[in-house]
Amino acid sequence: MANELAAFSNELAVVVERAGRAVVAVHARPRFSSSGVIWRPGIVVTAEHTIRREEEITVTLPDGTNLPASLAGSDPGTDLAVLKVEAGQSPVTRATSEPVPGNLALTIGRSQDSGVNATMGIISAVSGSWRTWRGGRLDRYIRLDLTLYPGSSGGLVVNAAGEALGIATSVLSRIAGLAIPASTIDRVADEILSRGRVARGYLGVGLQPVELPDHHKGLIVLSLEREGPAAKAGVLIGDILISLGGSAVGDTDDIQAALESHGVGQVVQAVVTRGGVSQSIAITIGERPRRN
């Protein structure tokens, strides 16, 4: 038994050492650093909430070298930030299988002072697409049962084989730390690198669910932004929104799902009931204003 435990311990150390070659320390906030992952050549991804300044950002590479990094963009909704660095380090190796509850998981971070660091636990829960309280969408909900230290956010989450499942964040759930999935990182990074931000659609309406006589649900329009997309298209206060983009809507999550399947600037058909009569209104999806 002792030999088996020693072998397992040594295997974990090898996994951490190997995967840690793609993990950097990110210096973008006062007092202490966070972690980041070389996701692609010259591209580091990290947790957005750890980026407290847009200039004078540096990263510490696995060999101890400090390099300047430029902020390509960030997305608070998914807690992702993308940095550009002039480094030829090898990016991560992606996991080829999906995690399941009970799988071993390690979070690997880096500090300029202590170097690579790791915590171990398990995947405690996995489910499908999930919307964060910040308004972003993760392609999968991957909850971690392990310790996330202050510098762990942005660090690499790997399976027992050392393959990347995503990066760690401590702010998207009040229950436990999460892994932002690799597919979400790819999607958000692609958009940030192409346009500098993640554009999210909006209609400019205040809505409240209502019950309709035929036992279906709709959303009554309680307020309108004067120059918002819905107001410009002819939507009125008191209209009851029945469907958007061909999908029935009964709560605000349905609205977000419909908007995510259509890009900003695209025209989407909304069906509303006005005075008991249904009509279709073409709305050009606007881009949600960014909060300062």
In the chain, where does the domain assigned CATH 2.30.42.10 lie?
Answer: 201-287
Whole-angstrom distance, CA of residue 68 vs CA of residue 59 = 6
Location of structure tokens 């419909």? 258
CATH topology of domain 201-287: Pdz3 Domain (2.30.42)
Amino acid at the residue 105: A
- Predicted confidence at residue 291, as pLDDT, reads 57
User: Which pair of tokens denotes residue 279?
Assistant: 């009509």
0.85 cut: is pTM over it?
no
**DSSP code of 252?**
H
Whole-angstrom distance, CA of residue 200 vs CA of residue 255 = 12
Query: Which residues, in sequence order, are bridge partners of residue 277?
Result: 274
The CATH architecture to which 1-198 belongs is: Beta Barrel (2.40)
- Residue-wise pLDDT tens for the chain (292 aa)? 778 889 888 999 999 999 999 999 999 999 889 999 999 999 999 999 999 999 999 999 998 999 999 999 999 999 999 999 987 667 788 999 999 999 999 999 999 888 899 999 999 999 999 888 888 889 999 999 999 988 999 999 999 999 999 999 999 998 999 999 999 999 999 999 998 888 888 899 999 999 988 778 899 999 999 999 999 999 999 999 999 999 899 888 888 888 887 878 899 999 999 988 999 999 999 988 765 4
Q: Distances from the Cα of 158 to the Cαs of 75, 131, 132, 236, 268, in angstroms?
A: 23, 23, 22, 50, 40
- Cβ-in-10-Å burial (0-12, 13-18, 19+) of 227 comes to exposed
- Predicted confidence at residue 201, as pLDDT, reads 86
261: left (phi over 0), alpha (psi -120 to 50) or beta: alpha
**DSSP code of 60?**
E
Whole-angstrom distance, CA of residue 289 vs CA of residue 285 = 12
Query: Which residues, in sequence order, are bridge partners of residue 217?
Result: 211
Q: How far is CA 96 from the centre of its chain?
A: 20
Amino acid at the residue 189: A
- Predicted confidence at residue 23, as pLDDT, reads 95
**Are 23 and 15 contacting, i.e. CB atoms less than 8 angstroms apart?**
no
In the chain, where does the domain assigned CATH 2.40.10.120 lie?
Answer: 1-198
- Predicted confidence at residue 150, as pLDDT, reads 84
